[in-house]
Amino acid sequence: MARLRENLEQNENEYDLGVITGTSDGDVGIEHGALLMDYADAALGDDIQRLNIAREIVIATLGEEACGDAAGVISTFNAIDRVADATGIPVEEWKLESSEDFRASLGIEKFKELHLD
């Protein structure tokens, strides 16, 4: 989380990561953000028709290589999250401290409460 924030802060763009948790609407603040969010949602969902449509739109808009790159990012983030959840890997204390404001702004603390004890 801290690394993501550092990468986002290295440029002067404004990002709305609340889109990820559904606390806001929009395109995150990156070019084609809404398109990529729709593709990610479709890829992680169970509606194959929606996925096929989203994939075709990404290919038509960004090209096949970008679609493949997006699919790789989606699958990698999904896999890492599932492994961490399945094994119960705790977040290191220093990461909790350094990402407190970031996590609060996204409203993801509620997930922490679900996994205590």
64-74, pLDDT tens digit by residue?
Answer: 999 999 999 99
pLDDT score, position 46: 93
Torsion sign over Cα 41, 44, 47, 50? positive
Question: Where is pLDDT greater, at 60 or 116?
Answer: 60
Asked if the model's pLDDT at residue 100 lies above 90, the reply is no
Q: How many whole angstroms separate alpha carbon 27 and alpha carbon 32?
A: 7
Can you say whether the dihedral through the CA atoms of 23, 26, 29, 32 is positive or negative?
positive
Count Cβ atoms below 10 Å from residue 18 Cβ, excluding itself.
Answer: 15
User: In percent, how much of the chain has pLDDT > 90?
Assistant: 32
Indicate if the pLDDT at residue 13 is higher than 70. Answer: no
Domain boundaries, the chain: 2-114
Average pLDDT over residues 94-101: 79
Look up residue 98 and give its two tokens: 């350094």
Q: What is the pLDDT of residue 11?
A: 61
Gap between the Cα atoms of 10 and 5, Å rounded: 9
